[in-house]
Each structure stands twice: as structure tokens, then as C-alpha cells.
Structure 1
Amino acid sequence: MNNQQFARRQPNFIGEEHIRKYAVLVPIIKTEKRLCILFERRANHLRIGPLEISFPGGKLEKNETIQACAIRETMEELNIHQNQVEIIGPGDVFFSPFSLIIYPYLGVINDYKDTFSEDEVENIIKIPLKFFMNHSPDHFRSELINHPPKDFPYEWIPYGRDYPWSKGSYDLYFYHYQETIIWGITAHIVKSMVSLIQDYQLFKTDLIRN
């Protein structure tokens, strides 16, 4: 190792080993009448997030690309073939304050027959893309407060127990469509991806016909 090698290195994130990395697909499907975003309601027996509404996706496996992970998980959860998935491109990355990073991809699922794996999915939900373009989500902000452990060595820091800890915040978004509520991380990704679809004028011809 030398100075030149160090100058060329790509920075990593400090604490990256504690961050969980996931990839998801934001699937667009074409029905007879309109373009829809396809959501999943997670199976009731799952340990994490049962009955929550989400996108197909999962944790990155070792040496797996982000796009490959999004496609693999979509195939498994929706019981579809790889040639049905048409990737449009990457969305913006979601950084969670809870040691979580999610990499969304936008894609079209062709010839979709409403299939899904009952091991992972309770049911599917189709919501018109135009709904999200025409409706802003309700917005709330949650405060994040530092709670040190009981054995924290306050005597090692200035002001001890009166130390002025910084506070953070976390945006919470809610979309209401008929009886369905899209919220949490899923709503964050929807809001971001719909904005990108509008900025890049994607699906413009199909949307005009709807």
C-alpha cells in the first residue's frame, strides 16, 4: 500500500457492516384500462412486517448485484419468469435511520396473471399510477431521541447526564386509496419514484390514453 493507492480508494461508509441492504422493484403493470403500480400485502405468518403493504424485494445476497436481487425477489414472490420483468432503471436510494438502505428499481411486469407465492404474499393490490400523480401524501414528522443504555458512562462526557443530545426526525407519509393505506418506507419509495416518473416523462404515451 502507498499514497497513490490510498488516493484512488473508494470511500466506504463507517459502520457499514451494521447496515442491512435491500433491493426492491416498483412494478408497473398494464391493465386493460390503465397503468397501475403493483403492491404486495405481506403474508400474515411472516415474522417481519406481517400484513404490511410493500414492494417485491429482499436482502442482497453475497456478490449479488442490486438489480439482480430486485429481479430475483420479484420472480420468487410473484411466481413470474425473468423474461416478464422489464427493468426501466434505478430509483433514488432510501436511507433509513434504522440501519437500513433500500435500493429501488422501476420496472414493468409484462403479461402478469395476478400470480403470487402464498408463502410470502397474502394478496396483491393494484393502484392506478395516475392516482399517485394527482394526490400528494399526508405528511407527519416523528422525532427521534437518543436514549443511552443504563450503564452509559456519563462521567466521561461534558455535562454528564445533562449533555445536550442532538435530536433527529423521520418523515412519515400516508397515501389513502379507497380502503388501502400506503405508508412507511413503501410510501417514501412511491413518492420518490412517482416524482422521477414525472420528471423523466416516463410512460407518457400510456398515461395520455388513460
Structure 2
Amino acid sequence: MTRPAITQPQLAPVTGVDDHLPPVPAAALTADAIRARLAALSAWTPEFAGDGGRFADREPAGAAVLVPLVRRDEGLTLLLTRRTDHLRDHAGQISFPGGRVEPEDDGPVATALRETEEEIGLPRGHIDVIGQLPVYSTVTAFQVTPVVALVEPGFTLTLDSIEVAEAFEVPLAFLMNPANHRHHRFEFAGAERRFLSMPWQGPEREYFIWGATAAMLRNLYRLLSGA
């Protein structure tokens, strides 16, 4: 299957905003509430299982990402990365830290922790894994397991300059409010692409969170909202 690459997602038309859906209540966005919610559900059906297809010349490969929820005094934040512009896959995109499963990894948690340490230098001693989200299939043929973790502050990051241009935090309450979720659709060469975005205005620039990252966050919203 041939898929048109999206090189300027910000320019894709917005077809809808989900401001009719309720935000996750503040009481459900605490560390204890999220831990309990993940523990209570052994299996559930996500809203987004994948991108809807993949590039024809790639075989599926396992991958894992960390969904790092930092315990700040003002509430949980999500630690994200901006990829460097020269990467083969997902160049310049906003991503969770993570990557491909290696033979020596003992499951997706091991992959997520190893890749996070390699990419941004987040020490494992600050990370408390509390659960996983359903596997998400990307257009680049990765079968991604999102590993949810609580992160204690006080860490110092060391970025891998080859892969990561920047690391930053977004308030979880912003991401768990569907009024900030936008649907996009466009056609190119007879093929249609649809994706979700959650643009966030940081202190100095806007971060266009979209694609697989936004879809996995939407799945987290569905889990925490009970929808």
C-alpha cells in the first residue's frame, strides 16, 4: 500500500474540533487515579488502533515508547521530544521517547526504558512504570507499545543530539481536554489521509503534536475519561 507522506501537517485542513466532549476531571488526572485506572483494566479497545495502513516496502517491527508523566507541584505534565530534522522516520515530529525493540530487550518495558535513557538521559531511578496502553500500528510499520510511567522531578536530561532536538513538558490537563483535539483530512494523488492534532503553545513556540503521538494520547483520554 502506498501512502502519501505528510510533510507539512499544520497546513492540512481542520475538519472538526472535539469541544463537545468533556475533559477528564481533575480528580482523574492525579498519579494515584491514573495508576488505579490502568490497574483496573486488563484489556480494552482503543479509539485508534493505528494509522490505517503502512508503507508497502516495510515489514512490521516491534517498538515501545515511554509515556512519561512528571509529578510537578502544579499537576502532572507529559514529557515529550522533538525529533531532529534529518531522521529517516518522523523527522522533526513531536514524539514520546522510545524506539525499536532490540533482541536483548526483555519486553516492551525494557525497550521503553532503554530508549528513553539513550535518547534523553532520563535516569531509570526517577521512573515508576504503572501500565501499558494497547499496541498502536504506525504508517512506518512499527507495532508500538506505549508504556505509561510516573516520573519524579529532580532529574537532569542529556539529549542525544543525533535523534532529539529538544525535550519539553506539556500539562496533562491540556492534552486530556478534547477542546484541544483537532481532526484533519486531506487528499493527495488520489489517496486520503486523516489524522489528529493537539497543538500546544509553549513559552517560546508552538508544538504541533499530531499523528501517532496524538492518537495514542487520545487513547489515553478515552481510558481516563471512561468513554
TM more than 0.5: yes
CA contact (8 A) 1:57 1:74 kept: yes
Give per-residue Cα distances to partners, 1:84-123, cap 9 Å, x unaligned.
1110101111123542211111111213435132423211
Structure 2 vs 1, CA of residues 19 and 180 (structure 1 numbering), >3 Å: closer, same or farther? Answer: same
The percent of aligned pairs where both chains have the same amino acid is: 29
Partner SS, residue 182 of structure 1: coil
Name the structure 1 match of 2:198.
175
Q: Which has the higher contact order (CA 8 A, sep 6+)?
A: 2
The equivalent position to 1:68 in structure 2, one of 100, 110, 119, is 110
Determine if contact 2:197/2:214 at 8 Å carries over to the other structure: yes
1:94 aligns with 2:136: yes
Counterparts in 2 of 1:88 and 1:30: CA distance versus 1, 3 Å: same
TM-score by length of 1: 0.68
Q: Indicate whether 1:109 and 2:132 are aligned.
A: no
Choose the corresponding residue for 1:140, options 177, 184, 187.
Answer: 184
CA contact (8 A) 1:92 1:193 kept: no
Partner of 1:161: none
**1:195 aligned to 2:222?**
yes
> CA 1:49–1:189 in 2, change beyond 3 Å: closer, same or farther?
same
Give ranges in structure 2 of 5+ residues lacking alignment.
1-57
Q: Which ranges in structure 1 are unaligned for 5 or more consecutive residues?
A: 1-16, 147-166, 201-210
Listed one character per residue, the Cα deviations across residues 8-57 of structure 1 (whole Å, up to 9, x for unaligned) are xxxxxxxxx92122100111002232211111011344343332110000
Larger Rg: 1
Classify 1:112/1:75 alpha carbon distance in 2 versus 1 (closer, same or farther; 3 Å): farther
**Cα separation, 1, equivalents of 2:188 and 2:135:** 21
Supply the AA of the counterpart residue of 2:91.
P
In 2, are the aligned partners of 1:22 and 1:59 still within 8 Å (CA)? Answer: yes
- Alignment root-mean-square deviation, CA: 2.6
Q: Could you tell me whether the CA contact under 8 Å between 1:114 and 1:124 is conserved in 2?
A: no
- The alignment of Structure 1 onto Structure 2 pairs a total of residues equal to 164
Q: TM-score, normalised by structure 2?
A: 0.63
